[in-house]
Amino acid sequence: MTGDFRLMGVVNVTPDSFSDGGRFIEPSAAVAHGLRLAGEGATILDIGGESTRPGADSVPADEELRRVLPVIEELARELQPSRARLSIDTSKAAVARAALDAGASYVNDVTAFRGDPAMAGLVAERDVECCLMHMLGEPRTMQDDPRYDDVVSDVKAFLERRLAVAVGEGVPEERVTLDPGIGFGKTLPQNLELLRRLDEIAAIGRPVLVGTSRKSFLGKLTGRAVDDRLAGTIATNVLAYARGASVFRVHDVAPLRDALTVAAATVAAPWTSPTAMTRS
């Protein structure tokens, strides 16, 4: 397999996530799901205890911790870090700190360190990797008529500013991945514009993560319900790969691994067979 991309498998330990809410609320179900995604090729498991779907209310830290900690503890026991690292999907430093103590080694913050003033310092002190994502407003209101001068330039400028803040707080630049935040305060045309011009975000010089998996803009384009958006998810991730993304946050790891392996082999030249058997 060509290895210049990473798959982040989604493990939502929530009652209300937009695509799989309630399915993995039992710790044993979430752990089994995480192990399955790691077996399918996810090298990062993103464990979240708070939905960020449009309209979602925030969850208190103690409830978020009650959901995610047993899952992280058990996955840390079961998985070697060389197989898959554990990411905590949170914007609260108290939740991130406890998750890092329990075995996580990656912080995915959809507020790009704006949600909690202690988050950047924590990531710096623990010397872990992080993802900083663009979001306009907050989940409760972000889809209420989002407006930009130029969505790509605005998101790019925001990510550059947040990267500078993180570095200023002591986070090494090499630890930071950037994410345009597909679906977070964006209309359908704005999401498509970001994907079309993703190379401009990649030009910042940090790895780019995209999360298009099963999102509603795919439903708007195809008319498909949330469980039936795999084809749209594959199309957008392959296009994002071609435009410079390298980390892909997805619910369906196995098909994305195949799609991105083929995309990577096609984009990289010249291709050599791993088995030297090249019949057709």
* Among residues 5, 18, 158, 241, the one that binds ligand HH2 under rule CB under 6 A: 18
Judged by CB under 6 A, which stretch of 47-55, 73-81, 153-161, 162-170 contacts ligand HH2? 47-55
* Among residues 31, 102, 124, 133, the one that binds ligand HH2 under rule CB under 6 A: 133
Closest CA to 213 of 3, 4, 17: 17
Q: Which tokens in the block code for residue 30?
A: 């979430």
Closest approach of ligand HH2 to the CB of residue 277, in Å: 38
Closest CA to 69 of 91, 45, 95: 95
Closest approach of ligand HH2 to the CB of residue 249, in Å: 5
* Among residues 43, 90, 91, 108, the one that binds ligand HH2 under rule CB under 6 A: 108
Q: Count residues contacting ligand HH2 (CB under 6 A)?
A: 21
Q: What size, in residues, is the chain? A: 280
* Among residues 27, 41, 48, 103, the one that binds ligand HH2 under rule CB under 6 A: 48
**Closer to ligand HH2 at the Cβ: 97 or 215?**
215
Judged by CB under 6 A, which stretch of 9-17, 25-33, 74-82, 257-265 contacts ligand HH2? 9-17
Residue for token pair 């619910």: 251
Closest approach of ligand HH2 to the CB of residue 250, in Å: 9
Residues 171-210: x where in contact with ligand HH2 by CB under 6 A, - otherwise, as a string = --------x-xx--------------------------x-
Residue 10 is a binding residue for ligand HH2 (CB under 6 A): yes
* Among residues 31, 38, 43, 52, the one that binds ligand HH2 under rule CB under 6 A: 52
Judged by CB under 6 A, which stretch of 16-24, 60-68, 115-123, 252-260 contacts ligand HH2? 16-24
* Among residues 131, 178, 245, 250, the one that binds ligand HH2 under rule CB under 6 A: 131
Residue 64 is a binding residue for ligand HH2 (CB under 6 A): no
Residue 249 is a binding residue for ligand HH2 (CB under 6 A): yes
Distance CA 59, CA 151 (A): 29
Write the secondary structure of the chain as one string of H (helix), E (strand) and C (coil).
Answer: CCCCCEEEEEEECCCCCCCCCCCCCCHHHHHHHHHHHHHHCCCEEEEECCCCCCCCCCCCHHHHHHHHHHHHHHHHHHCCCCCCEEEEECCCHHHHHHHHHCCCCEEEECCCCCCCCCHHHHHHHHCCEEEEECCCCCCCCCCCCCCCCCHHHHHHHHHHHHHHHHHHCCCCHHHEEEECCCCCCCCHHHHHHHHHCHHHHHCCCCCEEECCCCCHHHHHHHCCCHHHCHHHHHHHHHHHHHCCCCEEEECCHHHHHHHHHHHHHHHCCCCCCCCCCCCC
The residues of the shown chain that bind ligand HH2, judged by CB under 6 A, are 10, 12, 14, 17-19, 48, 51-53, 89, 108, 110, 131, 133, 179, 181-182, 209, 211, 249
